[in-house]
Amino acid sequence: MPLARRRHARAATVLVLLAACLALPSCQKSPPSRTEFALGTVCTVNLYGKGSVKDYDAAFSRLREIEATMSASLETSDIGRINAAAGKEAVKAKPDTVKVLSFALETARASSGAFDPTVGPVVRLWGIGTDDERVPATAEIENALVLVNHERVALDAVSGLVYLEDAGMRLDLGAIAKGFAADEVAGILRERGISRAIIDLGGNILCMGTKAPGVPWSIGIRNPEISHGEPVLSIQASDCSVVTSGVYERYFEKDGKRYHHIIDPKTGRPSDGEVLSVTIIARESMTADALSTAAFVLGRKRGLALVATYPGAEAIFIDRDKRVFASDGIRKELKLLDPSYTLADWPEPTR
C-alpha cells in the first residue's frame, strides 16, 4: 500500500462521544488511547475498562508487522518482492499476505474487477498522496491499464507462492490491508482478555463490544464534501466494523478539479460517479474495507447488489445531492445530524 507522505484528509469516519466515554468511571482503568502513524495513516487504539501498556504494545507491534509485510512501497515486504519479480518468478509469501490476497482476488471476481488488487501501476502513475502526484497523459494511463488484470495473478494458497504473470504488474493492497490489520488487532486484544475497544486505522473503525453494557457505540460518518468535515450522520454499532471510502480521504486538485485516490480500473482514472462516499458496516473489517472500495467504484445500485451477497453487511451511500441511501438493515440505526442532508427512500420498493 502506498505510504502517503502527505496526508490530505484521511480518517473516513469519526468517533462521536469518544471524549464523553473516556470520562466514564469504567473507562479510567485503562491507560489513555495510543496513536501512531502506521500503514500509511494515523492509527489509534482505545481500550475501555480494561487494558495495559503491554496490550497497546501488542496491538501496535502487530500493525507494524503487517505494514512490513504488505506495504507496496517497501522493497523488502512480500508485496515489494512479488512486484519486483513480476513476469520473472513466483515468490513465497507469508500466510497473512496469502489470506489478504485471496480475499482481494475473490472481491475482484465478485465485483467484476471494480475492485482490483493489481491496480498498482495506475495508482503509482497518479501518485496521489505522494510528492509525485500529477495528472498523467492519456497514453500513460492506457499503457498502465494493460498491466491491471486480477486474472493474471497466480496464487497457490497451499504453498504460498504468488506470481504476477506480466512484467510491470504491481499489487496494491491499500484498499483492504487496513481492514485485515484491524481484525488482527481485535483478535490479539480478545486473546488478552479485552472485550471493549475502538480500533481506528485512519478512519477504518472496528468497535469491540459495546460502549457500556447494553449501550452501543455511536459512530459518526463525515461530510464527504469537506476535508476533516463534521459528521453528517451517526450510527449505533457494537461488535462490528465501519469503513468508509470517500473522495475526501486522499486527493489533489489541479485546474479546479479534484482527483481522488479510488481508481476505476476500467478507465484508469479516479472513479467519477454520483457517489461521494460509501460506508460499509460488517462484522469483519477486511470485508468492510474491500466492499467499501468496490461499492464506491460500482456506484449505488450495483454496489448495493454486491453488498447484499455478503450476509450481515450493510451499506450507506452519500451522493453529490446530499442524499443518504442506507440499506434496510442499518436505516433504523441511523441518525441524521446535518439538516442539509436527506435520507432517501431506498432501496426502491419492488412491485
Please tell me the distance from the alpha carbon of residue 336 to that of residue 334, in angstroms, as a whole number.
7
Which among ligand AMP, Mg ion, none contacts residue 174 (Cβ within 5 to 8 A by kind)? ligand AMP
Minimum Å gap between C-beta 215 and ligand AMP is: 29
Q: Does 298 sit near Mg ion (CB under 5 A)?
A: no
Please tell me the distance from the alpha carbon of residue 284 to that of residue 138, in angstroms, as a whole number.
38
Please identify, using beta-carbon distances, which residue of 149 and 292 lies nearer to ligand AMP.
292
Minimum Å gap between C-beta 136 and Mg ion is: 23
Q: Does 262 sit near ligand AMP (CB under 6 A)?
A: yes
Q: Return the residue of 288, 293, 307, 324 that touches ligand AMP, per CB under 6 A.
A: 293
Question: In the chain, what are the helix, strand and coil shares in percent, each to the nearest 5?
Answer: 30, 25, 45
CB 304 within 8 A of CB 328: no
Which among ligand AMP, Mg ion, none contacts residue 119 (Cβ within 5 to 8 A by kind)? ligand AMP
Classify 210 as helix, strand or coil.
coil
Site string for ligand AMP, 102-121 (x = CB under 6 A): -------------xxx-x--
Q: Return the residue of 153, 162, 175, 240 that touches Mg ion, per CB under 5 A.
A: 175
Q: Return the residue of 183, 200, 289, 314 that touches Mg ion, per CB under 5 A.
A: 289
Q: Which stretch binds ligand AMP (CB under 6 A): 41-49, 90-98, 188-196, 245-253?
A: 245-253
Minimum Å gap between C-beta 239 and ligand AMP is: 21
Q: Return the residue of 13, 285, 293, 327 that touches Mg ion, per CB under 5 A.
A: 293
Terminal Cα distance for the chain, rounded: 44
Q: Which residue is nearest to Mg ion (CB)?
A: 293
Classify 329 as helix, strand or coil.
helix
CB 2 within 8 A of CB 174: yes
Minimum Å gap between C-beta 280 and Mg ion is: 8
Cis amide leading into 347 (omega within 30): yes
Count CA within 13 A, CB hemisphere, residue 257: 7
- For residue 71, list its beta bridge partners: none
CB 235 within 8 A of CB 98: no
Please identify, using beta-carbon distances, which residue of 55 and 249 lies nearer to ligand AMP.
249
Minimum Å gap between C-beta 298 and ligand AMP is: 10
Of 248, 237, 263, give the one whose Cα is nearest residue 170: 263
Please identify, using beta-carbon distances, which residue of 55 and 314 lies nearer to ligand AMP.
314
Total residues in contact with ligand AMP, by rule CB under 6 A: 21
* Beta strand residue intervals within the chain, DSSP E: 13-15, 34-38, 41-47, 91-92, 153-156, 161-164, 197-201, 204-208, 217-222, 231-237, 240-246, 251-254, 257-260, 263-264, 269-270, 275-282, 314-319, 323-326, 334-336, 342-343
| Residue recorded with cell 488484470 | 149
Q: Does 175 sit near ligand AMP (CB under 6 A)?
A: yes
Minimum Å gap between C-beta 323 and Mg ion is: 22
Q: Which positions lie near Mg ion, rule CB under 5 A?
A: 175, 289, 292-293
Q: Which residues are at the interface with ligand AMP (CB under 6 A)? A: 1-2, 115-117, 119, 123, 172, 174-175, 245, 249-250, 261-263, 265, 289, 292-293, 297
